[in-house]
Structure 1
């Protein structure tokens, strides 16, 4: 990494975790393509909208982390292959083959059929919170909602939901505990190992007792024409569980916090509920759960904004920085639920565009509508500066806790 890299002290602090957008604005203006140092790995960061959109489809920026360079070792560590070698970390034609098998399960028509069940889960969670007049919204609502939905889609037995949730939360909250780093790494590796063994066992069990769920469909793809290998079947299951709940949970927390800290926008949405679909897009643009797209590798020297990114470099596309680019969004740091909808990068772009976009939008619409309707007087339970967030080094932007109060 070059000497002029943006140091970790600028990007991985509590202040940056609380509000990264002033730093992103400075980088967009002064260093739109720059090397950065981080506690996890060094990389290059792209922050302007046009560059970000181009980079997300640039074939020179490979997603294949498990190829000859074995770049996953720098990013995920030596124990990651059993869970992370999947379509997220692959290029066409491998990505095309893997995604095709799963995409039918997430077709908009099939997802729409889930609407009554999602509404039922939402109401059940709110029913449990209502008598208390207060809640920790991440633990009580935002996390269990998408976890329940994706586990049911996949066919994870109800009695196992909590175990799977606990293991994924160890990975999600890595870096936020007070344990020594070595103990933290060991805990994450243990959770990864347990998840791998669990999904491998679940696949074997479903092979013996087939079911009409996504894992059953994946097993059928393996047995019918070898579309997936056994190892790919397990890693795909893990990807769907993690991706299917993590970003939606973090989005819900971010969205509620944004509304509670912008009361005029909250009241606008209460008074004009038909704004909700557009509001979700604006909330995603305003403070999305994936600040930087998953890593890419430069397969050759690549130039953006006159800056050469050397071959072999890890490249991060700063989605949240791009979504605040004033060249594309008027007054981008203002939350405006009436904003004329333009293209944002919150769901990605290109062949890696979010597979679960229909499910995520539906869950968000039902969840936010129900919270606003059923929790009158919803407000923060602590001063906003006391809201605990995921650490800045996390690949996700989300909340550890969101205490709220409301009329019981």
Structure 2
């Protein structure tokens, strides 16, 4: 993206992610609360950088998620078929409120608590090869498969379909710039898959989210068919990609701050609070989903015209010293309440209790089993995915202390 500020223009190539973007975010934040930028799609947008402005904007009903409020020629997102596009990320109340209420029962803390045992068993099983081999890419072997198992269990995806399910999801959420057609093919494959899954659950319903949503659709007529399919798709994409990166970024942060990891291992009861600080420190979502003002709005003293794209920088907000003291320091003892990594207001992430539980369990299982875990490459050799939408590692090589080369 390119950003124009009152002082200077900053050029950043979005296809070349850099290991520490927070210096750039910090410079933009201190130069001004709102910047006119050119986004990765080549279109103009407004970038909001300071915590209070970002927090208010997330909950501002004048900032619509509905693409129909975009000014002509002002939006160029991935073209999804209606059966995948009619989801909460593109909706405002009252449809947003209706659909959110229908699906929220699957993500209550009580329901998530029942999933903790199966999640821990899955985590332990995924760690067995690391115990045997002493080395692994923790993204490919642990941080990625754990959420996909949880989401597939939640949706009721048969075991035989899960390898394809994961490959399609990877092609969609982490597209290969050299092969853009693969993402389009993945969309078609996922649409066909969900059609088959829903048809199968109609014939033989189970104890899963898709079966429950079908009952709402068919018996109560409170969902359209497109909304039903889009909800299942959203649960997959949001529940998979963001959790993968939350786990991966958290493990890296702890390995790079051994004093914080030691304090956490000395007091495991702090793990739930630690997840909040880890989400603030290097969360998986640098930018909230784009918004379109339904009228001219003033943010941080800057008037943004109706229909133009607004991007809210969660990454900049989370390092704002006006809200968090010494924000560039990882401090697991910090009260990180108020971070925006999981949204805010009516746009607070429905799956937040599940994402927290998965991350907490993933960290506990990993460091309980391998207290001497270490990076298996120089930190500057790590590479990040080329995406402005999500911040995550391509790979996280690790070794156990028991490995002969460790």
TM range (shorter): over 0.9
The within-5 A match list for 1:208-287 is 208-287=203-282
Contact kept, 8 Å, 2:75 with 2:309, in 1: the verdict is: no
Name the structure 2 match of 1:399: 393
> Is 1:356 paired with 2:357?
no
**Corresponding position of 1:168:** 169
Q: Give the 3 Å change call, closer, same or farther, for CA 272–152 of structure 1 in structure 2.
A: same
Q: Give the ranges of 4+ consecutive aligned residues of structure 1 lying more than 4 Å apart after TM superposition.
A: 5-8, 68-73
Q: CA deviation at 1:300?
A: 1.3
Deviations 1:39-93 (A, max 9, x none): 224321111010011000111100112x365889934233454323201210000
Deviation for aligned residue 1:174: 1.8
Aligned equivalent of 1:98 = 99
Q: Say which SS state the counterpart of residue 199 (structure 1) adopts.
A: helix
Structure 1 residues 310-347: Cα deviation after superposition (integer angstroms, max 9, x where no partner): 11111111111111110011100000111134311111
TM-score by length of structure 2 reads: 0.93
Aligned partners of 1:227 and 1:336: how far apart in 2? 45
Task: Judge conservation of contact 1:173–1:400 (CA < 8 Å) in 2.
Answer: no
Conserved? CA contact 1:170–1:187, under 8 Å:
yes
- Aligned ranges for residues 325-364 of structure 1 at < 5 Å? 325-364=320-359
Q: Residue 370 of structure 2: which of 367, 371, 375 is its match?
A: 375
Matching of residue 152 in structure 1 with residue 149 in structure 2:
no
Separation in 1 of the partners of 2:105 and 2:295?
34
Q: Tell me the secondary structure at the aligned position of residue 18 of structure 1.
A: coil
Q: Identify if the C-alpha distance between structure 1 residues 277 and 77 changes in structure 2 by more than 3 Å, giving closer, same or farther.
A: closer
Provide Cα deviations, 1:93-147, integer angstroms capped at 9, x if missing partner: 0001111110011111111011110111001001122100011000000010011
Residues 58/241 of structure 1: CA separation in 2 closer, same or farther (3 Å cut): same
Contact 1:137–1:401 (CA<8 Å) still a contact in 2? yes
Gaps of 5+ in 2: none
Q: CA RMSD in A?
A: 2.1
Q: 1:82 to 1:321 in 2, by over 3 A?
A: same
Where 1:74 maps in the other structure, the secondary structure is coil
Note closer, same or farther for the CA distance 1:8–1:231 as it changes in structure 2 (3 Å cut). Answer: farther
- Cα offset for 1:8? 7.6
In structure 1, distance between residues paired with 2:87 and 2:277 = 30
Matched, 1:63 2:65: yes
In structure 2, how many angstroms separate the alpha carbons of the residues matched to 1:32 and 1:73? 22
- State the aligned residue count: 399
